[in-house]
Amino acid sequence: MAASDARLVERLPHDRSGEELRELYRRYSGELFGFACNALSDRELAEEVVQDVFARLWRHADDYDPGKASVRTWLYAIARNRIVDARRRAAARPGLAQPEAEEPVEELDRELEQAVLRWQVAAALARLSPDHREVIRLSHWGGLSLREIAERKGIPLGTAKSRAYYALQSLRLILDEMEVER
Amino acid sequence: MSGCRTHGALLGGYVLGALEPAEMEAMRRHLDTCAQCAREERKLSGVPSLLDRIEPGDVPPPEPPPELEEIVLDRFIRDREAPPQRRALGRRRAPVLAAAAGIAAALLVALVVLLTGQEEDTAYASADLRGSGVAADTRAKAWLTNVDAGTHVSLEARRLPGARGDLFELWCIRTDGRWISGGTFMAGPNGRAAAELTAAVAPGDYHKIVVTHVDAGAPAGTRGTRVLDGKLKY
């Protein structure tokens, strides 16, 4: 059975081979990177944020208290701080436009929350089968009715209807698994 | 589907707003009378507003480059290999200083500067170096620390071009355009290198770091072929 996140963090201070860290990296690097990319619109800066998050994770593993927050929440909190730092550095770079005033913390947090949500929805959609993804794409963004989708794809209307239902149901399940409400 | 034999098949299309107008209306009326479909509809109804948050082009979401995993693991292993001293040093600095006064403090400072893996805690700046041309995949990270002799550069490089043992030179590019050498280093196995170098520049004197491949047989004093460069981040 796979070790829990908290157990992996607990073992980190004694992890000589890097296997515990590798496992945590594989569990979270994708979403942290997606989050950072969404928040910073810069892949290189997002890579740095991911590196810094994991460096902080292993250096402060002793400080982690599973009673206070999940590992995921903790990692996002670290990433959030790194993203704020990265934005401030970018804003202070000569030659770049200076913001009128520093963004209020609440607004920044709201924006970062949206960045997480965007990554989660995109990642959930990416996990659907191609057929399911396509029926959602064509109906939701393409504005096509299921009848038009059936005609375009050369499939029976009943198939288009059941695909639409199962696509939505799968998406809802994946989002629930990611703890995305609404 | 919802388990409803008459309208279960319409639920997905209804939630997506993709049924024909007459079917949409029929489903709307049906939901008032069918608990099964109403329950299922409540469960799925939030999905379209979540989809509104993204654009089709956002799928699939960006993935970190594969090499990032090894970079993170390398940093971790280096950190682990270097220092029990390092952690103890940070935590016990105050008592040590109190006990041993000036000489110990000087020794401590020297250790801080010299310890491998210490750079991120003491560096005043860093630079992510990226390759170009034939060395497009080459990557390196440099941490810069202020020392009496100038700037100490801790460099970690991956995928250096050429063969093991090839010679590379690190340069700090001053704001007046002068190239100040930080010294040379050799590529290790698999194009990796970890080098500790010192350049005669002070913080603020320079803005960029460049690594060149020292071409075999090139006359002395030539800079070689540029393989990496990156701007300083304070």
| Over residues A143-160, mean pLDDT | 96
- Give the pLDDT confidence score for residue B189 in this predicted structure: 73
Q: Is the peptide bond before B60 cis (omega within 30 degrees of 0)?
A: yes
The CA-atom distances, in angstroms, between A161 and each of A96, B7, B32, B49 are: 51, 11, 21, 20
Of A16, A34, A145, the CB nearest to B62: A34
Q: In 3D, which of B87, B80, B81 has the Cα closest to residue B121?
A: B87
| Mean pLDDT over the full length of chain B | 78
Residue B83 has pLDDT above 60, yes or no: no
C-alpha to C-alpha distance for A114 and B11, rounded to whole angstroms: 28
| B79 touching A (Cβ < 8 Å) | yes
| Over residues A161-180, mean pLDDT | 93
Residue B159 has pLDDT above 50, yes or no: yes
Residue B152 lies in a domain: yes
Within a 13 Å sphere around the CA of A33, how many CA atoms are in the beta-carbon half? 21
- Name the residue range of residue B25's domain: 8-58
Residue B177 lies in a domain: yes
Of B16, B128, B233, the CB nearest to A164: B16
Category of B170 on φ-ψ map: left (φ > 0), alpha (ψ -120 to 50) or beta: beta
Q: In CATH, what number is assigned to the domain containing residue B26?
A: 1.10.10.1320
Residue B94 has pLDDT above 90, yes or no: no
Residue B69 lies in a domain: no
Residue A3 has pLDDT above 60, yes or no: yes
Q: State pLDDT tens for residues A17-37.
A: 888 999 999 999 998 999 899
Within a 13 Å sphere around the CA of B141, how many CA atoms are in the beta-carbon half? 17
- Give the pLDDT confidence score for residue B192 in this predicted structure: 82
User: Hey, what amino acid is at A168?
Assistant: L
Q: Domain count of chain B? A: 2
Outline which parts of chain A fall under CATH 1.10.10.10: 128-182
Q: In CATH, what number is assigned to the domain containing residue B203?
A: 2.60.40.200
| Over residues B70-92, mean pLDDT | 62
Contact A117, A76 (CB under 8 A): no
Residue B155 lies in a domain: yes
CATH level 2 (architecture), domain A128-182: Orthogonal Bundle (1.10)
Residue B86 lies in a domain: no
| Mean pLDDT over the full length of chain A | 86
The shortest C-alpha distance from A79 to chain B (Å) reads 15
Q: Which residues of B touch A161 (CB under 8 A)?
A: 9-10, 12-13
| B76 touching A (Cβ < 8 Å) | yes
Residue B97 has pLDDT above 60, yes or no: no
Fold that domain A1-126 belongs to in CATH:
Rna Polymerase Sigma Factor; Chain: A (1.10.1740)
C-alpha to C-alpha distance for B29 and A18, rounded to whole angstroms: 59
| B61 touching A (Cβ < 8 Å) | yes
- Give the pLDDT confidence score for residue A103 in this predicted structure: 58
| Over residues A154-159, mean pLDDT | 96
Residue A109 has pLDDT above 80, yes or no: no
| B57 touching A (Cβ < 8 Å) | no
Residue B36 lies in a domain: yes
Model confidence at B70, pLDDT cuts 50, 70, 90, reads confident
Residue B74 lies in a domain: no
| Over residues A44-60, mean pLDDT | 91
Outline which parts of chain A fall under CATH 1.10.1740.10: 1-126
A interface test, pick of B2, B10, B76 with most A CB neighbours within 10 Å: B76
Which residues on adjacent β-strands are paired with residue B226? Answer: B212
CB contact under 8 A, B75 and A55: yes
Contacts of A47 by beta carbon, 8 Å cutoff, 6+ apart: A33, B64, B65, B68
